[in-house]
Structure 1
Amino acid sequence: MPTISMFYGIVIQMFWKEHPPPHFHALYAEYEVLINIQTLEVVKGYLPRRAMVMVLEWANEHRAELMEAWNQCVHMQPPQKIEPLS
C-alpha cells in the first residue's frame, strides 16, 4: 500500500486495485479511517478529533491530486506523492 503523504504523525495511504468509492486511508497511532475523496465523508473507521480535522483540511486542499492518485492505483501505477499539510 503506497504512502502518498505524511504529516504530524498521520500517514495517508492508498491501496492498489481498491474498491469504489474512491477513498484513501489515514492512519494515526492505532487509529485508521477511510475517507471518500469526493464527499470527504468517513466510509469506515475513526480518528481522534484533532487528527481528523487536519486530515480533512489536507484532503480538501488536495482533492484533485487525490483523485489522480486514486486513478493511478486503480491502474496499478504508483501514485504521486502529495504535499503534506503545512
Structure 2
Amino acid sequence: MSTKYRFKNTYRIQLRERDHPPPHVHLTGGGLDVVLRLDPVEVMMGRAPPLIIKEALDWVSAHQTQLLEDWQRCYP
C-alpha cells in the first residue's frame, strides 16, 4: 500500500498493490474507505462528507497522469 497524499491529519489517498481493475485509489482514514476511479475521476464506491470528497477528487484530478502511471507500473 502506497500513500500518495495526506490531508486534514486524518485522510489518505492510497494506491494498493494487488488490487483489481479498473484503475483506482482508496480514500481512507476516519473510518472511511472510498474508492476513487482514476479515469474518469469519480467516486466509484463508498461515501464520505462532501468536503472530504471534493478535496480528494480535486487532488486526484490534479495528479491523474502520475497516478495512472503508478497504476500501470503496479499492474502492467
Task: Give the aligned residue type for 2:40.
Answer: T
1:37-48 equivalences under 5 Å are: 37-48=38-49
Q: Secondary structure at the match of 1:24?
A: strand
TM-score by length of 2: 0.86
Per the alignment, residue 12 of structure 2 pairs with 11
Q: For the residues of structure 1 that align with 2:73 and 2:18, how far apart are their CA atoms? A: 10
Give the alignment of 1:1-86 within 5 angstroms.
Answer: 1-8=1-8, 9-74=10-75
1: CA distance between counterparts of 2:55 and 2:27? 11
4+ residue segments displaced more than 3 Å: none
Share of identical aligned residues, percent?
A: 31
- Calculate the aligned-residue CA RMSD, in Å: 1.3
Structure 1: stretches of 5+ with no match in the other structure: 76-86
Which structure has the highest strand share of the two?
A: 2
**How many residues end up aligned between the 2 structures?**
75
